[in-house]
Amino acid sequence: MKKIPQFLLMAVAFLFTTVMMAQSAITGTIIDAELNSPLPGANVVEKGTTNGVSSDFDGKFKLETTTSVGQIVISFVGYSSVTLKFTGSANLGNIKLTPDNSLDEIVIIGSGVIDLAEDRKTPIAVSTIKANQIQEKTGTSDLPEILKSTPSVQSVQKGGFGEGQLFLRGFDQTNTAFLLNGQPINGVEDGKMYWSNWSGVLDVAQAVQIQRGLGSSKLAISSVGGTVNIVTKTIDRREGGFVQQMIANDNYTKTTASYSTGLSEKGWAFTALLGHWQGEGYADRTDGQGQTYFLSLGYKPNENNIFNLMITGAPQWHAASGYNTLETYLDKGRRYNFAFTGVNSPNNISEGYYPTGRNVYHKPVANLSWDLTINDQSSLSTVLYASAGRGTFASTISSGGVPTYARGSNNNHNWYGMVSNYNNQLNEYLSFNVGADVRLYNGIHFRSVNEFLSIDSIDDSSNYNGGSYTISKTFGGINPWNLLFNTNNDHAQRFHGYYDYEEKINYTGVFGQLEYSKDQLSAFFQGSASTQSHFRTEYGEAENEGEAEDSDKINNTGFNAKAGAAYNINENNIVFVNAGYYSRQPYHSDLFINDRSSNQLNPFVEGNQKITGFEAGYKLLGNRFSANLNVYHTTWADKVDYSSKDTDSDGLADEFTKTSPLKQVHMGVELEIFTRPIDGLNINGYVSVGDWTYNGNITTRTTDDTGAVIANGDTSYIDGVKVGEAAQFTAGVSADYEILPRLKIGANWNQYDNLYGAADFGSDEFKTDNNRGSIKLPSYDTVDTGVSYKWLLGKEDQNSLQFRVNINNVFDEVYIENSRDNIHVDSGDVAWKGVNVKNGVWFGYGRTWNFSLRYNF
């Protein structure tokens, strides 16, 4: 009898063990919460294990587990992950995933070379604009406008299509690094960015992340102000696409279509996007048009390898908007832009008006990436890229007020590069990566005739290797496709009294990072070193007829080092501190005079620029309320400004003026707040307060082309003068509310203050120690608003029709967004809102609007 209880106990234990060890089959169907359509290729993983499956082409899955009680995690690219509990075998029915475009999910290709904030546990000062926000708010704008509602950002539109500029913490675009899927895209020669060359990038962007200050990039790049990462579409797992039509003010129209095959069972995926736009422009006579193309071919042969080939480009032309004096704008209106009249040209589409300048460019970019998972601890990412830029700025040349021809200043290039990064998780707490960055660049510059207007040839009086010649051929016109395939290699049909030269710039860099993370503490160290070589070939002013003249080769090295640490007080509170030092090489445009035609080296470039940065921050994380607080201090030292003159009109610079090393100090505080008071309502805000000044006075020295001193020791008293062109105080509030299912309204308000004009150190204003510094421009604020609605269509609501209306500068605020002069108001001068009307300025856009209709399938 005593054995009966023992037997029963053993039976119960056996049954319990059997239940626990039995396999359970979990099934369900994964669907898009907005479109109510299946999501093939979604990942379903048993939590805490490597046991997982993917949903089929109908969104269905079956996962067998070794336990009857547990959890599964369901994730899909661009959607919020879902964790569900299960007990025994169960059919979980329809499981809805909501799109959120999370960066850690959308970055599939080249993830090892795309330095995003989510990739490192030690935080930085960062703001991210996700795909749905880009789609809603882009309208007719370029990228700088999309980022204007983030701290310490100033967007300046400047009138014409693609002419916008971005200032970050008071630094212009040459001191902000821009990356496309990890590929540097700033101009190699001078660091500049021309958004007209990238007019289609927002059509294909999954996200844009702006990292202020030191950032997380490991490359040796010019990130004094910060880094902007643009992440494009790559492999779409789900088949589908869209067709969109947009119209806007000033006869703007844009048509875009995209289709993705989805990821096939054999691992292939293809995405294509094509677009066309055209419009008259907000400023008078700034019409333009262009196309966008994007092709992505992905291949995933197995779980360890992913390949992707991307080709994209945005051929375009647009009439330029020149700046005018404030006096002229007040007289003729803020849209005023001069253009010639009565020109009957095949390329003249503005009813007799012909612009004074027109930008024409086509820059196709090819990008081949390979992500290799070597094992559970290590991976390798490599990106090969190439671009072939072809373009011109066609200036209208006139005689007696009558346009005679359009002279193109052509700036072509062939650019090849590679970025590769190896990552290894050394142990539970320590990770390490190392990589290489190689860039090979050939720039080709010359002037030619793009179009004859009232004449059919030009007798050029400038010397071409000792003799005059006649130009009778045109190059490219205003068609960017023609420019791409017509390279004009005939030096005898180029202008030579101005410039006809090439340069080769080769760059090799190495970089690495070591990161430690244990419990609440994380820390990192990043370092990079690079070497550059510069070589210039002169054609137009070569000493011997028919021969090219080569410059000396210039080599220089640079490096940067960054370190930081963070402490998680708890899961909701994080504090961090970062520091960095850059030794930055001068640009190619600094090394050579390039004033018309010359291989002559700039005698005033001495060594690298020195940048030192410190920042600290606090992050508060919560479901309904979160905030980021950052403080920063950046010193930019050993910057030398210089100018040159051609005093004897022989086409060569022969008088040079330089400043002594210049120092800027930028410090400030930034606060971002994100709130979700109730479901469907988001209210966010930011404020940034900066103090950006020049530190110390400077002296100037002028020499001739032999180095003999003409003038020496003039002092410009700039100590404490405010750095101009960007507002040192910005603030904003944005809100969006889903008032009905899929019907959303939103608005944002932005305030700008402490905005100063550009300081001209050579002017008499700064020659006395009681100078008045930079002129202060009036503060201003703008309000933008938008409404969108998504109408579900098709079988089981798998398709949708989306409407969007945006109105920018709702109250038609009249404001100066930038001034290139520094003319103070004296007795008897005429002023507008405290600004001398003799200053050359740019007015911001007035009220604009756009409407889009998008069919998703």
pLDDT one-digit tens code per residue, 410-422: 899 999 999 999 9
C-alpha–C-alpha distance, residues 836 and 325, integer Å:
9
Pair of tokens at residue 68? 């009857």
Residue at a domain's end among 97, 128, 150: 97
Q: Are strands 816-819 and 43-46 parallel, antiparallel or unpaired?
A: unpaired
For the segment 45-56, the average pLDDT, to the nearest whole number, is: 81
Say yes or no: 713 and 673 in one domain.
Answer: yes
Query: Are 404 and 260 members of one domain?
Result: yes
CA–CA dist 806, 578 (Å, integer):
39
Give the side-chain half-sphere CA count within 13 A for 386.
4
CA distance 593 to 272: 44
Domain endpoint, select from 232, 255, 289: 232
Provide mean pLDDT across the span 178-202. 87
Residue 79 has pLDDT above 70, yes or no: no
Q: What is the DSSP string of 10-74?
A: HHHHHHHHHHHHS-EEEEEEEEETTT--B-TT-EEEETTSS-EEE--TTSEEEEEES-SEEEEEE
User: 370-384, 615-629, 794-808: which range is least confident on average?
Assistant: 794-808
C-alpha 178/C-alpha 686 separation (Å) is: 23
Q: What's the Rg (C-alpha) of the chain?
A: 30
* Residue 595 DSSP symbol: S
Task: Specify whether 12 is located in the same domain as 111.
Answer: no
Most confidently modeled range among 420-429, 542-551, 796-805: 420-429
Pairing of strands 357-362, 378-399: antiparallel
| Co-location of 49 and 118 in the same domain | no
Sheet holding 642-645, edge to edge: 642-645, 655-659, 698-704, 709-716
Closest CA to 193 of 219, 156, 220, 159: 156
DSSP annotation string for 269-324: EEEEEEEEEEE--SSTT--EEEEEEEEEEEEEEETTEEEEEEEEE--EEEE----E
In angstroms, the CA 693 to CA 530 distance is 30
* Pair (649, 683) in one structural domain: yes
Answer for the pair 68, 35: CB distance below 8 angstroms, yes or no. no
510: domain CATH number is 2.40.170.20
Q: What is the pLDDT of residue 103?
A: 45
pLDDT reported for residue 270:
93
**Band of residue 108 on the pLDDT scale cut at 50, 70, 90:** very low
498, pLDDT greater than 70 = no
- The mean pLDDT of 519-542, rounded to a whole number, is 90
Q: Give pLDDT, residue 235.
A: 74
Task: Quickly list DSSP for 222-276.
Answer: --SSEEEEEEE----SS-EEEEEEEEETTTEEEEEEEEE----TTSEEEEEEEEE
What is the tens place of the pLDDT at every residue in 422-470?
999 999 899 999 999 999 999 999 888 888 888 888 886 554 444 567 8
Higher pLDDT: 446 or 811? It is 811
Residues 136 and 89 in one domain: no
Do residues 105 and 79 lie in contact, with contact meaning Cβ atoms separated by under 8 Å? yes
Name the DSSP letter for residue 647: T
Same domain, yes or no, for 82 and 166? Answer: no
Instruction: Return the half-sphere exposure (C-beta side, CA atoms, 13 A cut-off) of residue 686.
Output: 25
| Integer Cα distance of 557 and 552 in angstroms | 17
Whichever domain contains 117, its CATH number is: 2.170.130.10
CB 393, CB 403: distance < 8 Å: no
Identify the weakest region by mean pLDDT among 154-158, 765-769, 819-823.
765-769
Query: Do 664 and 649 sit in the same domain of this protein?
Result: yes
Amino acid at 152: S
Sign of the C-alpha dihedral computed for residues 79, 85, 86 and 91 taken in this order: negative
Both 124 and 189 in a single domain? yes
pLDDT score, position 15? 43
Please list, in sequence order, all residues whose beta carbon lies within 8 angstroms of the beta carbon of residue 17, skipping any fewer than 6 positions away. Answer: none
Quote the domain boundaries for residue 820.
240-856
Strand ranges in 304-401 using DSSP code E only, listed in sequence order:
305-313, 316-319, 324-325, 339-340, 354-355, 357-362, 365-373, 378-399
Among 243, 309, 231, which residue's Cα sits nearest to residue 274? 243
Statement: residue 493 has pLDDT above 60:
yes
Residue 110 confidence (pLDDT) above 70: no
Name which of 392, 338, 387 is nearest 366 in CA terms: 387
Chain mean position to CA 350: 32
The verdict on 734 and 795 lying in the same domain is yes
Amino acid symbol at 55: S
Beta-bridge mates of residue 82: 74
Of 36, 65, 97, the one marking the end of a domain is 97
d(CA 762, CA 416): 39
Give the C-alpha separation, 39 to 172, whole Å.
43
Taking the C-alpha atoms of residue 526 and residue 219, their distance in angstroms, rounded to an integer, is: 9
Burial profile 307-341: b = 16 or more Cβ within 10 angstroms, e = fewer: bbbbbbbbbbbbbbbbbbbbbebeeeebbbbebbe
Q: Distance (Å, rounded) from C-alpha 414 to C-alpha 335?
A: 37
CATH number for the domain that contains residue 83: 2.60.40.10
Alpha helices in 84-130 (DSSP H): 103-106
Asked if 93 and 122 sit in the same domain, the reply is no
Side-chain-facing half-sphere of 161: CA atoms under 13 Å: 30
Model-level pTM? 0.84
Is the model's pLDDT at 75 over the cut of 70? yes
* Number of structural domains in the chain: 3
Number of Cβ within a 10 Å radius of residue 36: 17
Q: Name the percent of the chain lying above pLDDT 90.
A: 48
Q: Are residues 749 and 774 in the same domain?
A: yes
How does 195-213 read in b/e, with b if 16+ C-beta sit within 10 Å?
A: bbbbbbbbbbbbbbbbbbb
Q: What are phi and psi of 393, to 5 degrees?
A: -110, 110
Summarize pLDDT for 228-286 with one digit per residue, the tens: 998 887 777 678 899 999 999 999 999 999 999 988 889 899 999 999 999 999 999 99
| Kind plus residue range of the DSSP H or E element containing 92 | strand 90-97
Residue with structure tokens 């005023």? 336
